[in-house]
Structures are given as structure tokens and as C-alpha cells.
Structure 1
Amino acid sequence: MSSTIEQRGRSWFHALAGAAAPVGGLPQDGLPTSLLVADAELAGQPVRYLAVVVDAGNPFPRARNGEVGLLEGWGLAKAVDEAIQADADSPHKRALIAIVDVPSQAYGRREEAYGIHQALAGAVDSYARARLAGHAVVGLLVGKAMSGAFLAHGYQAQRLIALRDPGVMVHAMGKAAAARITLRSLEELEALAASVPPMAYDLDSYASLGLLWETLAVAEIAQPTAEDIARVQDCLGQALADIAGGAKDLRGRLGATNRAASSRVRELLRAQW
């Protein structure tokens, strides 16, 4: 049985989408049951909510706990592409709200054999093309945002909003895996993370890299209250207003103290190329 934290994506999807009819969800629609999609309205604008959720019946065992696998990667690409195509001639393109609670990409031999790298790249490409086509893209972090799963679902957003809670973590890999890779104990890894922000898992360290637009505290993150929902909706609306008329790229992430080297590298590359 999945834990409460693993169900945060589902809880927030239903909280924000409300009574909106889901898009897809049946085999003939081409979207897996592990992907929730719904069109609604937020702050007077059309939006499409997307969330990868736990599916105990997923035909790929390594993608049954909210991981982003083959079906999820291609499903996200399809759901985003449909929005791009439907709004191609519309002056008011719907915003894409990625609700993020993903523990990792799916690790398995079948995933590698069938090209999970292509499936996840397809999702990244669709989100990026949507952003460049004029769709506002916002990522709402309500749980784990880990590894290739986060890169595929949420990381292409112009604005990233994270709910303040110990269960909301951002990193390239889980602590146990990071400890093995760096040949350290968990205690040693945490000590290292205290002085090296990119190695840390907490939101403040991640925010110091300039990647978070806003952090938000709520009363009940696992089962949001009406007040929690209203507060998050207001923040999402502010993000959409902030995006409107602005740059379509991700330059807003640069400028933070701990991104000084990134900015300098870009300057040198522009000068040489």
C-alpha cells in the first residue's frame, strides 16, 4: 500500500482541478492511468493540470510507486502536445501546471531496453516547445522531485513553486543512492550537503541556486484544506501573471549567489561562440 506522501500528487491534482472532467485515462486515449490530466480555469485563464501518480496496476512493476517510466514519459508528451496543437491558433493559450510528486524515473531492464531515455526526453521536449509556443508552464512541488522524473515533469517550468515541508525534496538521486555513489555514509553525506548546496535536499539550499520562484507553507500538505487550496491557487495565479509578457526562456533562474559560476560560464561561451 502506498504511503500518504506518495499520494500527494493525486491529492493536490483533485484539489486544484476540482470537478473538471479528466482528459484521457483510458487505453484508447493513449494516456496511462498513472497520469492525471484535466483542463480547468485559474485566475480567469484556461489551464491544464498534469500529475504523475501511484498506480499499483501499472504493467511496468518499476513504475508502480509514482515513478516516471515509459508510459508516463510518452503520456506527458502526448498530453502536452495535444494542448499545443489545440491552442495553436488561439491568442490565449492554456497554461500548463505540472504537479510534482515523483520519487525517480523507473529503473528496470525493460525500461532501458525500450528506451526510457527517449520517453523522458519526449516529455522534456514537449514541455519546452509548449513554453516557447507561448504556454505558461508552472511547476508545483508537493512531494519528491527527484532525478530524471523531475527533469521530465516540471523542470521546464518558467516558475517553480515548492510547498514547505520536510517531504518536499529536490535532488538528482535519493540519499541512499547518493551515499553509495560518493562512497560515504548517510551521516557523511548530510555533513557534506550542509556546506555544498547542490548536494543538499532541503528547499532553502535549492532556492539558493535561483531555481525556486516561491516557497509556500500550508497547513495540511497531504490532504489540503480549503484554505490551503485557496492559498496555492492564489500563488499559481500570481505566477501566471508574472510570466505573462515575459521571456519564454529560463533566464530568470540565473542571478542567485550560488549560480555566479553558471552566469560566468554563459558569458564566456557567448563571447567565444
Structure 2
Amino acid sequence: MSDATQQRGRNWFQALSLGATPAEGLPASVLAADSQLGDQAVRYLAVVADANNPFPRARNGEVGLLEGWGLAKAVDEVIEADAGRADKRALIAIVDVPSQAYGRREEAYGIHQALAAAVDSYARARLAGHAVVGLLVGKAMSGAFLAHGYQAQRLIALRDPGVMVHAMGKAAAARITLRSVEELEALAASVPPMAYDLDSYGSLGLLWETLSVAEIAQPTPEDIARVQDCLAQALVDIARGSKDLRGRLGAVNRAASSQVRELLRAQW
């Protein structure tokens, strides 16, 4: 695997935030910068690999203790600074995260709290009126995606075999379900929630848009312009519509979710 492929999140962050003002006081693995997207002020955020991370389990782009608390800080700064303003910054989460950090130290020091803090900050930002968009440029796996990106009102995925969404990697999922990887892939062909491809994920109603680019690992100027245009459209769509996550319902493979909500409303 090339360095460019491993650094998709960093490359897209740098491309989209070129010339922007970087946020200070964050871990080296958490990038944040304030910029403009058309007439809209935005803060771009990304979690990236840091070979010098003091936690070895979080050196390849995983979301661990520093990353969870770092994301929470970067988002909370925006919420506090823009409180009371009509033109609140949008948050654009650039997602390329292979998993949360698995380690004894992470568990002992409360990785569940660190990741929950990131989720809480993104959710509070959304509820406070900040548009939140997730841009999937690589892996969006497990608790890492829940902490960084999943709270977005609109999710945009770049169409590429390296862009995958799932609760865990194939090898781990195969072990948990007592199947081979080949058997898991065969099952995924008929059970969309078990699949890793974007079309299956999109059938769950969770993607707002998928987008093809020429060079996903090292974006060209044309790729950057196309993604910026799509991000801008997403912000317009959020401004015109619902600010919550109800837009995820209604897809063909979310019929049961809608029915459960109807029954709950009827009973409560």
C-alpha cells in the first residue's frame, strides 16, 4: 500500500483547507482548520496517522484517547465561539479511520468516554445550528466512524474500493461470526448490513451522495473543485431542510426502522 493511500485523510484535509487557519492546541493526529467554502465559513476536521503517538495502538489513524478528546475540543471551540451568531461555521469531517484504538491502556483510561465526548460534541454542534457534513475518503470503521463523521446530517462518500463502511474489518467479522472471509463475503451479497461496499451502505439510506474522482489518494485540482461543489450543495440542502438525522429514514432497507419508530410514537 502506497504512502498516499495510507494518508488519504491528510491529503484531502490539506487539499480542501489549503491556505486555511489551523487550529492550535490539538494532538498531532487531529487536524482542524478554519476556511471558507463559497460564502460559508467552515471548519475542516480529520484524524490522521501519527507515528509518534504516545499510544502505540493509535499510530495508524485509529481514533483513540487523544483523538476522541481532541475532536471534542476542536468542535467545542466552534460551538462556544459561534454561540449567538446567525452565521455559524459548518463542520466538515474528513473521514479515513480504520477503527478505534484497541489496547489495554485505552480501555483502562476510558476510551469509551473519549469517543463519547467526540460524539457528544458533534451532536451538540448539530443541535446548536451548525451544519455537519461527513466526507468519506477512506475507511469509516467501527467506533472510529461513530466518533468522527457519523453525526453528520449529510454523508458524502467518494466512490472507490478503498472507501468502506462497517462495524469491523472483514477478518475480525469472520472470526466473530465463525466464518471464513469468503463465507462472510457470500453472506454480505444477500444481507446489505453485512456488506462493505458503498451501494449496500447507501441502500440503508445513510449516504446523501456518492462521488467519483480521478485520483482519490492524491486529489487533482479538478477533484478538489468537484468535491468542494458537492460539499457546498450539501450545506445548501441542510439549510433548506431538516437539521436532524431523519433524512436517513425511508430507504428500501430501512423499512423496519421506520415501523419501529411509528410503533414507539403510538405507544408513547
Fold match (TM-score > 0.5) = yes
Q: Secondary structure at the match of 2:196?
A: coil
Q: Percent identity?
A: 85
* Contact 1:96/1:137 (<8 A) preserved: yes
Q: Which residue matches 1:4?
A: 4
By how many angstroms is 1:19 displaced?
A: 1.0
Which consecutive residues of structure 1, in runs of 5 or more, have no partner in the other structure? none
Q: Note if 1:56 corresponds to 2:51.
A: yes
In 1, the alpha carbon distance for the partners of 2:204 and 2:243 equals 20
Per-residue CA distance 1:69-112 (angstroms, 9 max, x = gap): 00000000000000000000211000000000000000000000
Q: Note if 1:158 corresponds to 2:153.
A: yes
* Contact 1:134/1:248 (<8 A) preserved: yes
In 2, the alpha carbon distance for the partners of 1:188 and 1:36 equals 38
By how many angstroms is 1:185 displaced?
A: 0.3
* Contact 1:2/1:65 (<8 A) preserved: no
By how many angstroms is 1:21 displaced?
A: 2.2
Which consecutive residues of structure 2, in runs of 5 or more, have no partner in the other structure? none
Q: Which residue matches 2:248?
A: 253
Residue 224 of structure 1 aligns with an amino acid whose one-letter code is P
Q: Note if 1:215 corresponds to 2:225.
A: no
By how many angstroms is 1:66 displaced?
A: 0.1
Q: Note if 1:74 corresponds to 2:69.
A: yes
By how many angstroms is 1:2 displaced?
A: 7.4
In 1, the alpha carbon distance for the partners of 2:136 and 2:246 equals 20
User: Could you list the runs of 4 or more consecutive aligned residues of structure 1 that deviate by over 3 angstroms after TM superposition?
Assistant: none
Q: Secondary structure at the match of 1:77?
A: helix
In 1, the alpha carbon distance for the partners of 2:207 and 2:10 equals 22
How many residues align? The count is: 268
Q: Which residue matches 1:199?
A: 194
Which residue of 94, 111, 115 corresponds with 1:116?
Answer: 111
Residue 260 of structure 1 aligns with an amino acid whose one-letter code is A
TM-score of the two chains, using structure 2 as the length reference:
0.99
* Contact 2:12/2:94 (<8 A) preserved: yes
Residue 40 of structure 2 aligns with an amino acid whose one-letter code is Q
In 2, the alpha carbon distance for the partners of 1:262 and 1:43 equals 36
In 2, the alpha carbon distance for the partners of 1:263 and 1:193 equals 23
Q: Secondary structure at the match of 1:195?
A: coil
